[in-house]
Amino acid sequence: MNMFLEAMEKILADHCTSADIRRVEAGGSASVLWQHIGEAGFLDLLLAEEQGGAALPLPELFPILECLGRFAVPVPLAQSIVARALGSARLPAGMVTLATRLRRTEATGVVCQLTPYGATADYVLARDGDALLLLPCATAQRETVGDPRSLVATLRWHGPEPVLRLSEGGERLSAMAAAVAAAMLSGAMQRTFDMTLGYCNNRVQFGKSIGKFQAIQQQLSVMAEHVLAASIAAESAFRSHGSAPSLLVASVAKSRTSEAASLVAATAHAIHGAIGMTDEYELGILTRRMHDWRTAYGAEGYWNRFIGAQILARDPSLADFVQAL
């Protein structure tokens, strides 16, 4: 375990409890958590040392992002780390989320649809073709989507003035956003499985723990298969020695983790029964984040179409294509 991961886990254990998350979901401030994160220097993990960063390699970033997923963080920490790396530390202080699709409306309007952490972020670093725009959320109209506890929001601007404009980096943003969401999904699914396994061992029915019933064991086995496959796929996106994963490898990671998320969440709730739906239990927090992150930056259907187009556009066989990933 690297020192960054140890420090991150301690901060989150102290300041990202289920009560803290519910407070943010209800519209409360996340300033205390964000302050501790900023003071610890986590925002600059990917920046070069000459820029005051840690120059952390991507393989070492992966377990930290998984940790964020396990704690179902209510702030765009992972996105802010990526945004500061893409912006070469020129970004203002505050929480920055990512948007991989920016749509222009009318003459001067701009929309970032279904933006992860759009409900809490201070800024959005959005892809505009190959360019990047940093837009202030304070001047945007925020529209929450679905469950009011979701942190996803559609952001609309009328004649926005970007805080920062970068001429390149669009594809890197898309690749990093997909990989980050995959890593956080992996962490959330692992925590969900651990909670479900513990519940099965402790919940007694007909004189024995429900985990000893064959039907429950079969569900746990399938659940474990999906959690492990998702973890392997997510980690593969961070095996790059460059500053960002390839878009193709990131798309495979996001596709596989998004596919697993729905199955893992459904199985966890089926096994837990009614207790899994109560506000006092943490399962609902995890599965809400999993559903948010599953669709973030494209769900499995979106990325499967992209992967299929890449396969059809290349000469090698499917086996060669897989081996080259």
Question: pTM for this one?
Answer: 0.95
pLDDT exceeds cutoff 80 at 259? yes
Token output for 151: 């942190």
- Side-chain half-sphere exposure of 202, counting CA atoms within 13 A: 7
Look up the CATH architecture of domain 3-170.
Orthogonal Bundle (1.10)
* pLDDT tens digit sequence for 278-311: 888 999 999 999 999 999 999 999 999 999 999 8
Residues 6+ apart with CB under 8 A from 180: 65, 78, 79, 82, 98
* pLDDT tens digit sequence for 46-69: 998 888 889 999 999 999 999 999
- Residue 222 Cα distances to 111, 165, 216, angstroms: 39, 46, 10
Beta bridge partners of 112: 155
Please state, in angstroms and rounded to a whole number, the distance separating the CA atoms of residues 71 and 157: 32
* Residue 46 and residue 84 in contact, taking contact as beta carbons nearer than 8 Å: yes
Please state, in angstroms and rounded to a whole number, the distance separating the CA atoms of residues 116 and 296: 6
Domain 183-324 fold is Butyryl-CoA Dehydrogenase, subunit A; domain 3 (1.20.140)
The domain ranges of the chain are: 3-170, 183-324
Alpha-helix residue ranges (DSSP H) falling in the chain: 3-15, 18-25, 31-39, 58-70, 77-86, 170-202, 214-236, 247-272, 283-295, 300-312, 318-324
- Same fold flag, 3-170 and 183-324: no
* Residue 279 and residue 272 in contact, taking contact as beta carbons nearer than 8 Å: no
Residue with tokens 């959330």: 188
- Across the chain, what does the average pLDDT equal? 93
Write the burial class of residue 162 (CB in 10 Å: 0-12 exposed, 13-18 middle, 19+ buried): middle
* pLDDT tens digit sequence for 187-206: 999 999 999 999 999 988 88
* Residue 124 and residue 118 in contact, taking contact as beta carbons nearer than 8 Å: yes
